[in-house]
């Protein structure tokens, strides 16, 4: 590992605000340490197709404030095959690349873990996903921006909900995890939160809404993670409306707005720290690991743990959300 001279960086899976800041940090830290650094365009698909180019300091200028990813991203079914991974490895070897920094979520980590083991190739992961569902880190790159975007949208919805005495169901991203919904719900003062990890009762929600109505609380906001166990926001809203036809019910789906936009200061700093640390991790001779931040300290976790272990929601936050939703 002391002979490492060339590294590559790529982004994979869903884009997340702050990915560009991480790429910038990788490139500039690598060059500072006299390494040649390459960008793989289009994630694992680009690795298979050989879309690899040399990056210099100027290539990552003026990108720290941009959302999305300058290296583009894609999901690759071909990389799931041994033939595809073999072609990807041959392209890395052809470019004399000694190690890779992979920026992405759970699927990216799974690919990096398998690839690194198959070809004894050093892979280091950076958690870039708005879902914040990666084991081994308190926060993932993009999460803070996503919840700020969601809360800003909900604040605007609150204005019209109040004006018309309406009940709004607001759907946020989260097919398998409720981190975005939970933090958005708390931050926006929502009257209820539906997340995949908890089997909320719609009947309990209706009961709470009726209690609120008796207190002359004439409008409310309910945050729904798209993957919760009771169905999407539209389904839940319909069930509530059927039981309470007097409610003026509306549904808003924030959707991909949460993925875009300029990253917050927190995401820019987090991404910069992780990109910088990823290069140092490679230079130390570590491979097959993912970076994370725990209690504001950068740590490493084996890919196997990051992929197979579950990151749980903070139970204290769950209980607090119930209390504050009264």
Question: According to the model, what pLDDT value does residue 119 have?
Answer: 98
Question: According to the model, what pLDDT value does residue 160 have?
Answer: 85
Question: According to the model, what pLDDT value does residue 207 have?
Answer: 84
pLDDT at position 168 over 60: yes
Query: Are residues 198 and 111 part of one domain?
Result: no
Q: Is residue 317 part of a domain?
A: no
Question: According to the model, what pLDDT value does residue 163 have?
Answer: 79
Question: According to the model, what pLDDT value does residue 263 have?
Answer: 98
Query: Are residues 235 and 138 part of one domain?
Result: no
Q: Is residue 320 part of a domain?
A: no
The tens digit of pLDDT for each residue in 122-141 reads 999 999 999 999 999 999 99
Nearest residue to 278 (alpha-carbon basis) of 61, 47, 65, 104? 104
Instruction: Specify whether the CB–CB gap between 289 and 278 falls below 8 A.
Output: no
% the chain with pLDDT above 90:
84
Whether 131 sits among the annotated catalytic residues: the reply is yes
pLDDT at position 216 over 70: no
Question: According to the model, what pLDDT value does residue 219 have?
Answer: 64
**What confidence category does residue 209 fall into, taking pLDDT thresholds of 50, 70 and 90?**
confident
Tell me the HSE value of 239 on the side-chain side, using a 13 A CA sphere.
12
Nearest residue to 98 (alpha-carbon basis) of 117, 123, 127? 123
Q: Mean pLDDT, the chain, as a whole number?
A: 94
Question: According to the model, what pLDDT value does residue 43 have?
Answer: 97
What sections of 33-105 are H helices per DSSP? 43-49, 82-94
Q: Is residue 282 part of a domain?
A: yes
Query: Are residues 250 and 126 part of one domain?
Result: no
Query: Domain range holding 148?
Result: 143-260
CATH of the domain at 267: 3.40.50.450
Taking only Cα atoms into account, the Rg of the chain, rounded to an integer number of angstroms, comes to 22
Question: According to the model, what pLDDT value does residue 55 have?
Answer: 98
**What confidence category does residue 15 fall into, taking pLDDT thresholds of 50, 70 and 90?**
very high
pLDDT at position 314 over 90: yes
Query: Are residues 277 and 171 part of one domain?
Result: no
Query: Are residues 233 and 288 part of one domain?
Result: no
**What confidence category does residue 2 fall into, taking pLDDT thresholds of 50, 70 and 90?**
low
CATH of the domain at 174: 3.40.50.460
Residue with tokens 């073999």: 86
What sections of the chain are H helices per DSSP? 19-32, 43-49, 82-94, 106-119, 143-164, 179-188, 202-214, 233-243, 265-283, 303-308, 315-324
CA distance 175 to 180: 10
CA distance 123 to 88: 13
Query: Are residues 192 and 215 part of one domain?
Result: yes
Strands 123-127 and 99-104: parallel
pLDDT at position 21 over 70: yes
Question: According to the model, what pLDDT value does residue 300 have?
Answer: 98
Query: Are residues 58 and 186 part of one domain?
Result: no
Query: Are residues 129 and 23 part of one domain?
Result: yes
Active-site choice (131, 133, 144, 208):
131
Across the range 95-102, mean pLDDT stands at 98
Across the range 136-148, mean pLDDT stands at 98
Query: Are residues 297 and 194 part of one domain?
Result: no
Question: According to the model, what pLDDT value does residue 152 have?
Answer: 96
Number of domains in the chain: 2
Between 159 and 183, residue with greater pLDDT: 183
Across the range 229-246, mean pLDDT stands at 92
Query: Are residues 137 and 11 part of one domain?
Result: yes
Across the range 142-149, mean pLDDT stands at 98
Residue 310 to residues 115, 133, 215, 238, Cα–Cα distance (Å): 22, 8, 40, 32
Question: According to the model, what pLDDT value does residue 325 have?
Answer: 81
CA distance 133 to 31: 31
Query: Are residues 172 and 112 part of one domain?
Result: no
CA distance 235 to 140: 30
Q: Is residue 61 part of a domain?
A: yes
Q: Is residue 189 part of a domain?
A: yes
Across the range 146-168, mean pLDDT stands at 90
In 3-state terms, what secondary structure has residue 293? strand
Q: Is residue 321 part of a domain?
A: no
Question: According to the model, what pLDDT value does residue 218 have?
Answer: 55
Q: Is residue 132 part of a domain?
A: yes
Residue with tokens 């809360």: 151
Q: Is residue 323 part of a domain?
A: no
Query: Are residues 152 and 129 part of one domain?
Result: no
Question: According to the model, what pLDDT value does residue 208 have?
Answer: 82
Helix, strand, coil % in the chain, rounded to nearest 5: 45, 20, 35
In 3-state terms, what secondary structure has residue 265? helix
The tens digit of pLDDT for each residue in 58-86 reads 999 999 999 999 999 988 999 999 999 99
């Amino acid at each position: 590992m002391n002979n490492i001279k060339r590294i590559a960086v790529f982004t994979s899976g869903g884009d997340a605000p702050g990915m560009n800041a991480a790429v910038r940090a990788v490139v500039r830290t690598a060059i500072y340490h006299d390494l040649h650094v390459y960008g793989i365009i289009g994630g694992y698909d680009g690795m298979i197709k050989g879309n690899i180019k040399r990056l210099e300091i100027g290539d990552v200028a003026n990108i720290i404030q941009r959302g999305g990813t300058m290296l583009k991203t894609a999901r690759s079914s071909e990389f799931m095959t041994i033939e595809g991974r073999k072609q990807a490895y041959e392209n890395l070897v052809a470019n004399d690349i000694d190690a890779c920094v992979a920026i992405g979520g759970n699927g990216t980590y799974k690919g990096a873990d398998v690839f690194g083991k198959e070809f004894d190739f050093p892979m280091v992961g950076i958690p870039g996903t708005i879902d914040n569902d990666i084991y081994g880190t308190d926060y993932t790159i993009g999460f803070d921006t996503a919840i700020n975007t969601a809360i800003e949208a909900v604040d605007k919805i609150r204005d019209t909900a109040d004006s018309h005495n309406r009940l709004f169901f607001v759907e946020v991203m989260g097919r398998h995890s409720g981190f975005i919904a939970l933090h958005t719900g708390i931050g926006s003062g929502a009257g209820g939160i539906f997340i995949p990890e908890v089997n909320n009762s719609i009947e309990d929600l209706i009961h709470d809404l009726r209690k609120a109505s008796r207190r002359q609380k004439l409008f409310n906001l309910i945050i729904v993670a798209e993957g919760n166990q009771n169905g999407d926001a539209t389904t839940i809203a319909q069930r509530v409306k059927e039981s309470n036809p007097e409610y003026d019910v509306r549904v808003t789906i924030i959707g991909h707005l949460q993925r875009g936009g300029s990253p917050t200061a927190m995401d820019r700093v987090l991404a910069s720290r992780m990109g910088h640390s990823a290069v140092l991790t490679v230079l130390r001779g570590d491979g097959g690991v993912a970076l994370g931040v725990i209690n504001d300290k950068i740590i490493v976790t084996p890919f196997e743990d990051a992929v197979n272990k579950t990151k749980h929601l903070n139970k204290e936050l769950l209980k607090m959300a119930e209390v504050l939703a009264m």
